[in-house]
Amino acid sequence: MDIHCPRCRTRYRLDDDLTPRRVLKLRCAACRAEFRVDLTETARRDAVRDRTGAGDMWARRLARTLVSDMVVYNRARRDKALADGSLLDEFADELAEAWDAFREQTGGREQAPLFRDAVNSILAAGRPLL
**What are the φ and ψ backbone dihedral angles of 20, each rounded to 5 degrees?**
-65, 150
The tens place of each residue's pLDDT in the chain, 130 residues long, gives: 778 888 888 888 877 766 777 888 999 999 999 998 887 765 555 555 555 455 578 888 889 999 999 999 999 999 999 999 999 999 999 999 999 998 888 876 678 889 999 999 999 988 888 7
3-state SS class at 24: strand
- Would you give the distance in Å from CA 17 to the centre of its chain? 14
Q: Please check whether residue 39 is in contact with residue 21, taking contact to mean a CB–CB distance below 8 angstroms.
A: yes
Separation between Cα atoms, residue 85 and residue 57, nearest integer Å:
30
Q: Please check whether residue 38 is in contact with residue 19, taking contact to mean a CB–CB distance below 8 angstroms.
A: no
Domain boundaries, the chain: 2-39, 55-123
Cα-Cα-Cα-Cα torsion 13, 17, 18, 20, nearest 10 degrees, comes to 100
